[in-house]
């Protein structure tokens, strides 16, 4: 029976089969006749094959339901088939979802990996620079072969060969030189997406950043290139002046340029006569300026981004300088010249001056002249060394390095509190840590000592002999009472008499008396290994520093080794004292100094010795620590290794020997590099060193630490072989000149053509330094005019302060010269009867400030002992300065401004008051003081408390002291013992004696106060209060 086939339902079985699989096709077959499906499907296929033009040929076959034939399926089979169909449908659905997710992930990553979003056409793809270089090379070879008749044929041929547009080939040919140069310079790879450079090349990190995808200069352009150029010029100008420029400074200047440019554009747009062709670009620029300024004000991220781009645009790098100083280039240059000039002058005095001139600086000029040919030049400086027994670097587990969250910290605190309230003894928490008790560890586990490095230059005053440099015997200064190992015998007695004054007390060491246990470990080491002390000397000082007593002993030792000596040191305060100057005078030693804050650039120890020496000491000490800790561990001891005296001495000696191996090379090269050895004595005059020492031609002067302009006047202050004396007033003079320049920048004249009448032939009182008056430092007329304007603008108090400081400096300098001349005259008279060595032995150096002593309650002044008189005696320098400062007429002449008018004081002026308000810090409450000023409801209490500070309070914070008031209790200084701290922690539940648990690390917080529970804070507070009042005695019963 023929059935009508519907073209709309012809594809139904295929659709079901594709979605449900085989089981779905079986289920779908139950609703139609299988024989008719086959017959009509075959007929439809034949019609489509034999009659394709028939209108019914392209319609899908429609199966009409008919009577089902055959044996029906059982219920169990239908259920199985349905389950299989459902399982296949779920699997197909999961597969479709996975494909969709993968497609979305690929589309999202395309932008990150350089691809383009789906459906968007690709832009222009540039050839890598290395590939362009290869194409250019091939084109050049073709040109050399003369294969083409004209350019048209040439470009057409290579456009076809390279599969590029002819326009791009022309552009490539025009850029051939830039392409080849860029590829060769950066050694680029033809596959920059895979390799950073060509095969076999090594490139730095900065060079690897450029792979050569495009030519330099491509990409986004600056929005305001003219402003970038101005910022670059400003940055280069600031650096050429030596000024420090931070990233924020460059950023602020660029923002300032943008704001100024915005004002200029707005002014131009306000002109109604401006034509539209010129108005449009200004409007675009104004819009861009507003947009960028708004983004900078809105976002901190935009600020940091612009700072980085400005750093790149200006070719700057944000680095940490090796030398940080507050000196300006003018001050650095003047101090550098003063150092060189001072060294040249001292060298001339030691090597070329006559006996009369030399006698002003040494005690025995004839003896000095006898040994002048063997003149030694010594360069000394102190190096601080920290010898510590700290643990080496060790490994830490992950749980030790992983911090604990705040939530876990609070939970542990709460759990610990609950356990403590419940009375449980075993508290297991990461908050309770068993701290090692270090009360038994020696105090010398970590201490500081000072090593004085000394380099000596020999044969410099011997014509025809090449100079040599060497490392001289070093000096170790350890902590302890003043003593020197060279004056102690092996059996522990003083070898010779020794006297010095320390903090106003006279200390005497008598020959033959016992030294006790003083320097006992070093004496034992000297007996065991005496060869070590052939390379170093050992002295003691309370703070392990070089004071005037130590330097006086050093001068005595050096004078015994070198009869004619020239010493250069830095501006250490002890070097200027009367004691050290007297020791140098008696020891026939001439001293010269390095100007303040110039040691890092000019001193030989800092430039060529100290870094290497410290590195060798650290390496040697690390090896000793490792071996010592290993030996302790193998012996079963759990203590930490501590450096012994032997370890310290051997470490220093080994490092000194290592530096001394090639000292003849680096001493000469370092001194030449620092500009010291510019002259050499020859025939009684100073002449350029290259003339008499040809080897110096291979040792040029100057380094990266010295500016080129500093070396230009290096030979300018020597005339006829005699250098002029240095004018040390250049240091305050250049500081005053720099202040004037800074004032001119901050208060520049708005009208530069304005006339200002002033005395152009004289200097203002605040600038009357010797360097200006002598013409060493000259001010140009324009700056001198501004100096008078600044003088007129200064307040009366400020002018008086500047002049008083200037007068004080001049008085102290005059006092030092007066005391020095008096001491030298007295020593010359004494040396007529005794020798220099005896005078040095009798020399009494002084150091430390004398402590104030209470006046005796009764008795006459004559009843004081001789030792007390010497303790109360003032130094001659202070006496001379007081005598010179007693005359106030000179100071009043310098201060031309009138005194400020006196103001009326309040009722509390000169009275004793007590602080009654709760102030910060709280220990001020209850303290008393005398009011030195009461103006405008404000009080001033000078020399207040143990720190002798000055307090400025309101009159509401104090009350006049009454006789009926009792004395207030004073807060005791907080000195807590380890046992007391442990007891407080136990009471608060923060200490556990049981160390069976493994401690967990606690996260470090930025809170100023530790977070504890309320009862823990109260327990700790009551413990501290009880500790305070227990020290007072009677008040302990209150608690």
What are the pLDDT digits (tens) for 319-359?
765 555 556 677 788 888 888 989 999 999 999 999 888 88
Q: Which residues contact 89 (CB under 8 A, 6 or more apart)?
A: 19, 20, 24
**Proportion of the chain above pLDDT 70, given as a percent:** 66
Q: Is 1007 helix (H, G, I), strand (E, B) or coil?
A: coil
Q: Report pLDDT digits (tens) over 197-211.
A: 666 565 555 455 667
Q: Do domains 329-389+450-723 and 912-960 have the same CATH topology?
A: no
> What pLDDT is attached to residue 888?
43
CA gap 677, 692 in Å, rounded: 12
Q: What is the mean pLDDT of the chain?
A: 74
| Residue 372 near residue 564 (C-beta atoms within 8 A) | yes
pLDDT for residue 288: 92
What's the token pair of residue 409? Answer: 């910290």
H-state helical runs in 674-714? 689-692, 708-711
Distances (CA, A) of 929 to 646, 910, 945, 958: 53, 10, 9, 10
Q: What is the pLDDT of residue 117?
A: 53
Decide if pLDDT at 1023 tops 90: no
Contact 799/766 with Cβ under 8 angstroms? yes
Q: How confident is the model at residue 390 (pLDDT cuts 50, 70, 90)?
A: very low
The Cβ-side half-sphere exposure at 204, using a 13 Å CA radius, reads: 3
Supply 103's token pair.
């497609």
Q: Estimate to the nearest angstrom the gap between the alpha carbon of 982 and the chain centroid.
A: 38
Instruction: Considering only residues 260 and 597, tell me which one the structure prediction assigns the higher pLDDT.
Output: 260
Contact 639, 437 (CB under 8 A): no
Confidence check: pLDDT of 745 > 80: no
The answer to whether residue 42 scores a pLDDT higher than 60 is no
Tens of pLDDT along 398-432?
555 556 666 676 677 677 667 666 655 444 444 44
Which pLDDT score is estimated for 948?
Answer: 47
The Cβ of residue 408 has, within 10 Å, a number of other Cβ atoms equal to: 14
Lowest mean pLDDT among 27-41, 179-193, 459-473, 633-647: 27-41
DSSP code for 514: B
Mean per-residue pLDDT, 656-668: 91
Label residue 566 by pLDDT band (50, 70, 90).
very high
Question: In this model, does residue 601 exceed pLDDT 70?
Answer: yes
Is a pLDDT exceeding 80 seen at residue 547?
yes
Task: Identify the residue with better confidence: 1038 or 44.
Answer: 44
Question: With contact defined as beta carbons under 8 Å apart, do 933 and 923 qualify?
Answer: no
What pTM does this model have?
0.52
Tokens 């012994």 belong to 644
Q: What is the pLDDT of residue 944?
A: 58
Q: What is the pLDDT of residue 757?
A: 46
Please work out, in degrees rounded to the nearest 5, the angle formed at the alpha carbon of residue 392 by the alpha carbons of 390 and 394: 130
Q: Are 691 and 718 spatial neighbours (Cβ–Cβ below 8 Å)? A: no
- Cα–Cα distance, 371 to 376 (Å, whole number): 10
Where along the chain do its domains lie? 7-72, 129-208, 225-313, 329-389+450-723, 730-843+867-894, 912-960, 978-1038
- Residues 693-700 have a mean pLDDT of 87
Strand partners, 388: 446
Q: What is the dihedral of CA 192, 197, 198, 201, to 10 degrees?
A: -170
Residue 414 CB neighbour total at 10 angstroms: 11
Model confidence at 4, in pLDDT bands (50, 70, 90)? very low
> 670 falls in which pLDDT band (50, 70, 90)?
very high
Which class does domain 912-960 fall in? mainly beta
pLDDT at 805: 74
Confidence class for position 872, pLDDT limits 50, 70, 90: very low
User: What homologous superfamily does CATH list for 329-389+450-723?
Assistant: Ribonuclease H-like superfamily/Ribonuclease H (3.30.420.10)
């Amino acid at each position: 029976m023929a059935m009508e086939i519907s073209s709309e339902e012809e594809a139904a079985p295929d659709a079901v089969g594709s979605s449900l699989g085989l089981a779905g096709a079986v289920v779908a077959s139950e609703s139609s006749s299988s024989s008719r499906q086959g017959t009509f499907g075959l007929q439809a296929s034949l019609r489509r094959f034999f009659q394709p033009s028939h209108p019914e040929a392209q319609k899908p076959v429609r199966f009409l339901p008919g009577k089902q034939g055959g044996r029906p399926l059982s219920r169990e089979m239908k259920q199985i088939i349905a389950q299989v169909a459902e399982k296949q449908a779920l699997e197909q659905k999961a597969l479709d979802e996975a494909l969709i997710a993968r497609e979305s992930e690929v589309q999202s990553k395309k932008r990150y990996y350089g691809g383009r979003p789906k459906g968007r056409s690709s832009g222009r793809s540039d050839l890598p620079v290395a590939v362009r270089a290869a194409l250019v090379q091939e084109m050049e070879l073709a040109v050399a072969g003369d294969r083409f008749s004209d350019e048209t044929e040439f470009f057409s041929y290579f456009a076809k060969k390279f599969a590029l547009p002819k326009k791009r080939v022309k552009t490539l040919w025009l850029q051939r030189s830039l392409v080849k140069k860029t590829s060769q310079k950066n050694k680029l790879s033809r596959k920059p997406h895979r390799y950073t450079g060509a095969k076999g090349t090594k490139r730095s990190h900065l060079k690897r950043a450029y792979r050569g995808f495009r030519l330099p200069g491509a990409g986004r352009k600056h929005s305001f290139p003219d402003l970038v150029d101005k910022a670059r010029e400003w940055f280069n100008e600031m650096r050429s002046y030596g000024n420090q420029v931070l990233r924020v400074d460059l950023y602020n200047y660029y923002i300032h340029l943008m704001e100024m440019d915005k004002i200029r554009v707005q002014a131009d747009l306000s002109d109604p006569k401006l034509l539209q062709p010129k108005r449009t670009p200004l409007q675009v620029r104004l819009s861009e300026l507003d947009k960028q300024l708004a983004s900078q004000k809105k976002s901190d991220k935009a600020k940091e981004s612009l700072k980085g781009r400005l750093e790149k645009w200006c070719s700057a790098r944000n680095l940490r300088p090796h030398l940080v100083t507050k000196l300006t280039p003018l001050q650095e240059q003047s101090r550098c010249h003063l150092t060189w000039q001072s060294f040249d002058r001292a060298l001339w005095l030691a090597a070329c001056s006559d006996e009369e001139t030399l006698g002003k600086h040494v005690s025995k000029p004839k003896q000095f002249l006898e040994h002048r040919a063997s003149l030694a030049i010594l360069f000394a400086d102190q190096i601080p060394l920290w010898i510590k027994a700290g643990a080496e670097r060790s490994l830490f587990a992950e749980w030790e390095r992983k911090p604990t969250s705040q939530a876990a910290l609070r939970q542990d605190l709460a759990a610990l509190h609950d356990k403590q309230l419940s009375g449980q003894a075993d508290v297991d928490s990461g908050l309770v840590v068993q701290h090692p008790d270090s009360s038994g560890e020696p105090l010398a586990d970590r201490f500081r000592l000072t090593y004085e490095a000394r380099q000596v230059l020999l044969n410099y005053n011997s014509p025809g002999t090449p100079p040599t440099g060497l490392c001289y015997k070093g000096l170790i200064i350890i902590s302890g009472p003043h003593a020197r190992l060279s004056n102690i015998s092996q059996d522990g007695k003083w070898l010779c008499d020794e006297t010095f004054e320390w903090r106003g007390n006279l200390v005497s060491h008598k020959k033959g008396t016992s030294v006790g246990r003083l320097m006992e470990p070093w004496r034992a080491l000297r007996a065991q290994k005496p060869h070590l002390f052939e390379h170093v000397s050992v002295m003691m000082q309370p703070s392990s520093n070089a004071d005037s007593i130590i330097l006086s002993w050093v001068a005595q030792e050096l004078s015994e080794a070198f009869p004619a000596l020239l010493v250069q040191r830095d501006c250490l305060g002890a070097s200027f004292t009367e004691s050290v100057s007297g020791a140098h005078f008696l020891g026939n030693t001439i001293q010269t100094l390095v100007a303040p804050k110039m040691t890092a650039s000019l001193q030989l120890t800092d430039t060529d010795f100290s870094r290497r020496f410290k590195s060798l000491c650290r390496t040697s000490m690390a090896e000793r620590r490792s071996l010592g800790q290993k030996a302790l561990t193998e012996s079963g001891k759990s203590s930490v290794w501590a450096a012994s005296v032997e370890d310290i001495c051997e470490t220093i000696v080994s490092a000194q020997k290592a530096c001394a191996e090639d000292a003849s090379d680096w001493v000469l090269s370092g001194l030449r590099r620092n500009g010291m050895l510019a002259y050499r004595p020859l025939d009684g005059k100073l002449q350029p060193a290259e003339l008499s020492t040809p080897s110096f031609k291979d040792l040029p002067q100057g380094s990266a630490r010295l500016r080129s302009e500093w070396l230009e006047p290096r030979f300018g202050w020597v005339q006829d072989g005699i250098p002029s004396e240095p004018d040390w007033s250049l240091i305050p003079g250049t500081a005053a000149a720099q202040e004037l320049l800074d004032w001119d920048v901050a208060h520049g004249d708005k009208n530069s053509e304005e006339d200002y009448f002033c005395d152009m032939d004289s200097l203002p009182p605040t600038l009357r330094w010797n360097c200006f008056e002598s013409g060493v430092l000259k001010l140009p007329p324009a700056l001198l005019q501004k100096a008078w304007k600044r003088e007129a603008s200064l307040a009366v108090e400020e002018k008086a302060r500047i002049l008083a400081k200037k007068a004080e400096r001049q008085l102290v300098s005059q006092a030092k010269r007066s005391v020095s001349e008096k001491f030298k005259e007295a020593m010359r008279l004494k040396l007529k009867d005794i020798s220099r060595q005896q005078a040095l032995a009798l020399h009494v150096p002084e150091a430390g400030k004398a402590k104030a002593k209470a006046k005796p309650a009764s008795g006459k002044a004559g009843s004081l002992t001789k030792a007390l008189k010497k303790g109360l005696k003032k130094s001659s320098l202070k006496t001379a300065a007081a005598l010179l400062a007693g005359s106030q007429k000179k100071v009043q002449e310098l201060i031309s401004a009138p005194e400020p008018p006196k103001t009326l004081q309040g009722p509390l002026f000169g009275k004793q008051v007590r602080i009654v308000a709760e102030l910060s810090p709280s220990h001020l409450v209850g303290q008393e003081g005398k009011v030195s000023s009461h103006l405008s409801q404000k009080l001033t209490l000078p020399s207040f408390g143990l720190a002798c500070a000055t307090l400025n309070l309101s009159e509401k914070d104090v009350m006049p002291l009454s006789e009926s008031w009792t004395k207030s209790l004073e807060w005791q200084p907080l000195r807590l013992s380890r046992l007391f701290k442990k007891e407080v922690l136990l009471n608060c539940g923060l200490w556990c004696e049981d160390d069976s648990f493994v401690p967990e690390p606690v996260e470090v917080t930025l809170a100023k106060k530790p977070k504890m529970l309320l009862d823990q804070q109260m327990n700790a507070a009551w413990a501290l209060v009880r500790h305070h009042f227990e020290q007072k005695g009677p008040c302990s019963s209150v608690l």
